[in-house]
Structure formats: structure tokens, C-alpha cells
Chains A and B, each alone.
Chain A
Amino acid sequence: MLDTYLPILVLISIAVAFAIGSVVFSRLIGQKKPSAVKLAPYECGMPLIGSARERVSVKFYLVAVTFIVFDIEVAFLYPWAVVFKQLGWYGAGAMGFFIFVLVIGLIYEWKKGALEWE
């Protein structure tokens, strides 16, 4: 375990140190002349209208919920794919049924219009 995951831990620490280091370093040597206009959010140089914390379309939440269902399916497919030659037709049949149920879900979603963007 340690043999395989220690190098990844070291790589993560180097990458994090690189990211933090470069941001801190540029903060130290960069110039600082802030003004109220410069610190305002960019809106084509016009005075701000309203806030950016607006409501967003429910479509995006729908995509996220659908994603979770299908992502779990992907996670189930991986272990099956590795041993599927040993499992043979029995395993393929079982997984075929699983995929079939999910495809019905996809078709239902499709018919309900959850995948439409107008």
C-alpha cells in the first residue's frame, strides 16, 4: 500500500507547494494600486446592475441529478469489465439486465424532456 500511494502523496505535496508558492510569490512582487473601480466586478465598463447571486435554471440541477445516477452505473461497470471474461455469459446477462434498466431510465428521461435545452 505505502509503496504505491507514497509517491502520489509526494507528488500532491509538490503540486500544492508549486500552486501556493507561485500565487504567494506573485502577490509579494506584483504591484498594488487598488481603486474602487478596479476592484468592481467586470461588466463591460458599465455601472453594476443587480447582483450576480441570481437564481439559475433548474435544468442544471436536473443534469447533476441524472449524472449521479449514471456515474454510479459507471462505477458498477468497472469491476465487472475487469473480470467479465471469467464470468462469461452469466455475468454478461446480469450486467445486460442492469444496463437495460438504466437505458429504460434514460428513455423515460428523454421522453419527459429532461434532456431538452431550448
Chain B
Amino acid sequence: MPMLSLSNAPLLFLGIMLAKILAVFVVVILIVAYATWLERKVIGHMQARLGPMETGWHGLLQPIADGLKLFFKEDIIPSQASKVPFILAPMMILVPAFITVAVIPFGPDIVIGGYQVPMQIADLNVGILYILAMAGLGVYGIVLAGWSSNSKYSLLGGIRASAQMISYELAAGLAIVSVFMLAETLSLRGIVAAQMTPLWGVIDFLPNWYIFSQPLAFALFVVTGIAEINRTPFDLPEAESELVSGFCTEYSSMKYALFFMAEYANMVVLSAIATTLFLGGWHGPFPGAINILLKVFCFMFFFIWLRATFPRVRYDQLMHMGWKVFLPLALANIVVTAVVVLLQQ
């Protein structure tokens, strides 16, 4: 069956493309909105509180109320701030966070009008490089926000964030190399397909998810990922006990909301990438997209659980871990994987 492309059925291709993009965009925004509700609820219950209860049943309308409130708030641009970068920074953080989902496959191929349609916005053959590039772009927004606010807290938060994010981006990038060595592709669709065979080709009742072959890489990727998206216990850029709110101290109204949304969008994206690379993506007992949503929600719960459990690490501990523990471990994992795979051939 031919793949649907721009050359063989242009109108159908454009229509399905727009439908997929809008569906994914709306789903991501909904998950982001309800992740804020989930976080407040879960942390509330972990601390023997109820969390939001007033707006709607068990506070279910809270994200909508929060969003509306932020729309009506006064938009303050500090008089000493560099105006243009100050306005651009929140957008520069939000956009990379949202467009990374383009390469995540969320279901098996379906057939529409005699053509095969992949359930993925774009199947890039360099999908992982695209993800890393977008993750790298996120740093610019944070540095720009910290610098342009012209406030001491913001500047400290921005500089801390940049050093932390580039250090952990490195370890995260190295941790996933072993996945490509096993899958022999950089396309996320190919990586999911490679995980659908029986485990190591022999064990029938387990899928060949890379978490079984690469447990160290999985652990490294999740921990460095949490550090890269600045979540607790690595939330030094916005350490509220010392830096007020870090790089977004001077922001208010919808610009602050964009930072907030970007943080949760990054959590969703990190969960989706970890799921795709190590936990079989959309593969599982339920119909396609439900599997990946369930796995993403397990990750989100895990991130919230971490926030309720762990104290923040010190900055020297953070840099020490990134460069002296995670980086050598990730390199050693690549070497060991290479030797083991070649010995088996």
C-alpha cells in the first residue's frame, strides 16, 4: 500500500496533516492544563491536604480559572528591562517546548482512502537530532529572560539555568546513544518498530523494550532529563527559597503563564520521549494513543512524586553529578554496549 504523500494525494495529505497537528496541539495543551491540576492534587494529598476543591468537582475547573485570571492580570514590564528580549523570552521558551512533539509517534499506521497514514506529525529520519536541537533552543529563552529583566534574582536564575541545562543536555544526549546502536536508526518511528519484537528475540511474553536491555541508559536519561527541564530536585534556576522565582521573577500576567506552560509542556515532552525510546512508545495492550497517554501520565505522576519527596540539591552537587558521575557513566555505557553487541554478532 502506498504511503500518503504530497505528490500522490495533495489535498488529502494537507487535510490529514492539519487534523493531526490540531489534534496533537489541543491534546498537549489539555495535558499541560490538567498537569497543573494533577500536581496540586497529588502534592496536596501527599501532604495530607485536599488541594483545589472549590472550582468544579474536586477542583476540575481550576486550570481554566487560573488561565482566565492570568489573562486579566496587569502585564508589568519593568522600567529597567530590555523591552524586546523581555517580551520575546517567554515565547522563545514555549515554542520549542510545544513543537518537539512533532516527531513523537502516537499510534500504528492507519489506512485512509487507500493510502497508508502514519500516526505522527512528521517522521524525520533525524528525529532525535530534532529533539535535541529544540531542547537546546529552550536554553536561549531562559538566559534571555534572566538577562533582560535586569534584576539580580533573574540574572542569577538565568545563568544557573544555562550552565545546568547545557551540562545535563550532554549527559542526556550520550545516554540515548546506546538506543540508536540497538535500533540502528534515529527515526522515532523506527525505534518504536524495533521494540515490538520478542525480548532479545527469544523471550515471547515480554516485548523488546529498551528499558530491559538498557536499564542504565534509561535511568540516566530520566534523571538528566529532569535536570534539563529544571524540575525538583534540580530546580535551582527557580529556587524559591533563595532566588524568589529565578529567571521569571519579573514576569507577570500571560507572560508568566507562558513560562509555566512551557515547564509542564517540557514534562510532557520528556515523558513522551522516554516512553518512545525505552518503553515501546504507543505499543501496549490498548489501542495506540491510549498506551502512550497512560505511560506519559505515569511519568508525570513520578515527576510530581519526586517534587513531593526530595529536597533540592546544592549547586556544587548538581554540577559535580552532571560532569563527574553522569557523563563518565554514559560514556562507559556506550563502550560496554558496543563491545557486548559486537561479541554477540
Contacts and interface: CB of A to CB of B under 8 A. Distances in A.
| Interface of B (DSSP majority class) | helix
Given A12-B99, A60-B163, 6 more contacts: A41-B150, A41-B154, A53-B155, A71-B170, A88-B342, A88-B345
Given A78-B186, A96-B335, A5 B152 contact: no
Interface string B202-228: 000000000000000000000000000
Nearest to B96: A15
Contacts of B335: 96, 99
A36 B128 CA distance: 48
Interface of B: 5-7, 13, 17-18, 20-22, 24-25, 70-81, 87, 90-91, 94-95, 98-99, 102, 121-125, 128-130, 149-155, 159, 162-163, 166-167, 169-170, 173-174, 177-178, 180-181, 184-186, 244, 249-250, 253-255, 257-258, 315-316, 319-320, 323-324, 327-328, 331, 334-335, 338-339, 341-342, 345
A78 B253 contact: no
Given A7-B122, A8-B121, A92-B339, A25 B254 contact: yes
Nearest to A36: B79
A99 to B, nearest CB: 6
A112 interface: no
B78 A23 contact: no
Given A25-B254, A42-B249, A63-B319, A71 B169 contact: yes
Contact of B244 (A25, A32, A42, A66): A42
Contacts of A92: 338-339, 342
A104 interface: no
Contacts of A25: 71, 254
A63 B102 contact: no
A101 interface: no
Contacts of B186: 78, 82
A113 to B, nearest CB: 12
Given A4-B123, A22-B258, A89 B320 contact: no
A85 B341 contact: yes
Nearest to A38: B76
Contacts of A33: 74
B8 to A, nearest CB: 10
B90 A23 contact: yes
Interface residues of A, number: 69
Contact of B334 (A18, A77, A116): A77
A106 B170 CA distance: 13
B319 A115 contact: yes
A22 to B, nearest CB: 5
Contacts of A36: 79
Interface of A: 2-8, 10-12, 14-16, 18-20, 22-23, 25-27, 29-34, 36, 38-43, 51-54, 56, 59-60, 63-64, 66-67, 70-71, 74, 77-78, 81-85, 88-89, 92, 95-96, 99, 102-103, 106, 110, 115-118
Residue among B6, B98, B152, B185 with the highest chain A CB neighbour number at 10 A: B152
A84 B338 CA distance: 8
B341 A10 contact: no
Contact of B99 (A11, A22, A30, A89): A11
Contacts of B91: 16, 19-20, 23
A26 B254 contact: yes
